[in-house]
Amino acid sequence: MEKKVYIETLGCQMNKSDSERILGILSHFGYEAEEENEANFYIINTCSIRKLSEDKAYSKLGVWGGIKKTRPDVKIAICGCVAQQEKEGLLKKFPYLDLVFGTHNIYELPELIEELEKPTPEGERVRICAIRDKAVAEKEFNIIRSKGINAWLPIMEGCNNFCTYCVVPHTRGRERSRDVETVIAEAKKIISEGFREITLLGQNVDSYGKDLPEDKNGVKPNFAKLLAELDKLEGNFRIRFTTSYPTDITDEVIETVKNAKRICECFHIPMQSGNDRVLKMMNRRYNRAQYSEIVNKVRREIKDVTITSDFIAGFPSETEEEFQDTISAINELGLDYSNTAAYSPRPNTPAGKMTDKFIPNDIKKRRLAELNDTVKKASLNSNTRDIGKTFEVLVEKIKENDDKNGNVRIAEGRSRNNKVVHFKSETAQPGDFINVEIKEALVWCLKGEETK
Ligand code: SF4
């Protein structure tokens, strides 16, 4: 039987990167990536950050369970954060499920696949749940990356912060940094494969290296030093990174980004709330004044830097007045863009147990709408400030005969500070770096003209 795998990935970039690794491992066993309706091995890589995402995974399993009724040879697996959180309960809940593995044991897949494929003497079906509390050591496998301009490169995993609303420390475990040499070698490979942009991933990139030993010269690795090393690599590429915890951003990191050639001027610094009491309830280790201080410092030091953030509307017990502090923070700090979400209670989290303080859904919905409106206005203000500037744009795609623009060829890419830029061009190709002067600002993008 041909081995054809389909992986559906929900959630963050870390999951996307994990799926590329899973595909690489499976390719060693003869599996090839396939469209959903043609596959005979289905894997869902799940996210449990919000209930909605968890429900989406279960509904997909239901669809695949239906396929298995007519094609019993089909195998179905679940991995990622929901698997790590729900463990063998999933095998009971979904009788058609064959394999459950977690965030800590992707590198155990070869053994799990072998077990799954092994014929049993009685010919009965093998069902496996393999969840580990400790990470299984990394092994060398090819990574089958999604085609395009950007490649994800995880530098660390897990988080030690235990924000009261967040499942990550429970599903991804404590912080674990990958060796400097491993990260550098992977970056070189990415560049040699022709990718133009590397995005370094970590739940808290500024913690990178805290768990690593000193090198042979007695130097302790840290994020700034890693950035500086990556900046020295040969090739035509850019580096981005995400996510930064506000009070962990060091002066050394700011200085490194300021002086680097390839590191893009963009920081994603989640604030979550603009109110000090709510921040305390969230167990965030800063207040509004400290957050403002770091944002102002980054802006002062790095020209044209973009600062983006995350906010939650309707955290348990948040009053209307406290919510308005979030709105005023976005405006006051001139944040360029923010991701938003209504609070969603998650299992095993302290905030999830504050049931007597939950905010009714209709209020959360209204606050989220106001938050989104504020983010939209902030984004337009930020884009308007860019009119007249010239940005180096990395072209990602081309729209031939763009109808909206009167049958002209439009190139779309991102500036170093992560703004989407559209411009007319007869010659630009994906992967080109082109200087563009910004002429017009829209809410979610900029329009400009190629400069000679
Ligand atoms: S910093 Fe807080 S929100 Fe971010 S991953 Fe860690 S626990 Fe979750």
Nearest to 60 by CA among 114, 124, 126, 6: 6
Q: Confidence band (pLDDT; 50, 70, 90) for 137? A: confident
The tokens describing 8, both together, are 């559906």
Sort strands 32-33 and 4-9 into parallel, antiparallel or unpaired.
parallel
Nearest to 391 by CA among 344, 437, 324: 437
- State residue 1's pLDDT score: 74
Q: Confidence band (pLDDT; 50, 70, 90) for 285? A: very high
Q: What is the mean pLDDT of the chain?
A: 94
Q: Where are the alpha helices (DSSP H) in 302-390?
A: 320-333, 361-385
Residue 151 CA, ligand 1 centroid: distance in Å:
23
Atom of ligand 1 nearest to the CA of 159: 6
Query: What span, in angstroms and rounded, lies between the C-alpha atoms of 2 and 73?
Result: 12
- pTM of the predicted model, to two decimals? 0.93
- State residue 118's pLDDT score: 84
Q: Confidence band (pLDDT; 50, 70, 90) for 372? A: very high
214-233 tens-digit pLDDT:
998 999 999 999 999 999 99
Q: For 282, phi and psi rounded to 5 degrees?
A: -80, -5
Residue 169 CA, ligand 1 centroid: distance in Å:
7
Sign of the C-alpha dihedral, residues 205, 10, 138, 169? positive
428-450 tens-digit pLDDT:
999 999 999 999 999 999 999 99
Q: Can you give the three-state secondary structure of 65-77, one letter per residue?
A: HHHHHHCCCCEEE
- State residue 117's pLDDT score: 84
Cis amide linkage into residue 243, ω under 30° from 0: yes
**Within 13 A of 375's CA, how many CA atoms are on the CB side?**
20
**Protein residues whose CB sits closer than 6 Å to any atom of ligand 1:** 159, 161-163, 166, 168-169, 203-204, 245
Q: Confidence band (pLDDT; 50, 70, 90) for 452? A: confident
Q: Confidence band (pLDDT; 50, 70, 90) for 329? A: very high
Q: Which domains does the chain have, with CATH numbers?
A: 4-130 (3.40.50.12160), 150-385 (3.80.30.20), 390-450 (2.40.50)
- Ligand 1 pocket test target in 13, 166, 170 with most atoms within 8 Å of CB: 166
Examine the pLDDT at 405 and tell me if it is beyond 70.
no
Per the CB < 8 A criterion, the answer to whether 241 and 226 are in contact is: no
Examine the pLDDT at 259 and tell me if it is beyond 90.
yes
Residue 223 CA, ligand 1 centroid: distance in Å:
18
Atom of ligand 1 nearest to the CA of 272: 3
The tokens describing 343, both together, are 């609070």
Examine the pLDDT at 407 and tell me if it is beyond 80.
no
Residue 93 CA, ligand 1 centroid: distance in Å:
29
Average pLDDT over residues 297-303: 97
37-69 tens-digit pLDDT:
889 999 999 999 989 999 999 999 999 999 999
Please indicate whether residue 146 or residue 283 has the higher confidence score (pLDDT): 283
Examine the pLDDT at 255 and tell me if it is beyond 80.
yes
Per the CB < 8 A criterion, the answer to whether 82 and 103 are in contact is: no
Per the CB < 8 A criterion, the answer to whether 267 and 244 are in contact is: yes
Q: Which residues contact 396 (CB under 8 A, 6 or more apart)?
A: 148, 149, 412, 413, 414, 430
The tokens describing 5, both together, are 């795998």
- State residue 2's pLDDT score: 87
Per the CB < 8 A criterion, the answer to whether 348 and 54 are in contact is: no
Atom of ligand 1 nearest to the CA of 243: 4
Q: Which element (helix H / strand E) includes 118?
A: none
Q: Identify the residue whose C-alpha is closest to ligand 1 atom 4.
A: 203
Of the chain, the end-to-end C-alpha distance in Å amounts to 56
Query: What span, in angstroms and rounded, lies between the C-alpha atoms of 115 and 311?
Result: 44
Sign of the C-alpha dihedral, residues 362, 364, 368, 371? positive
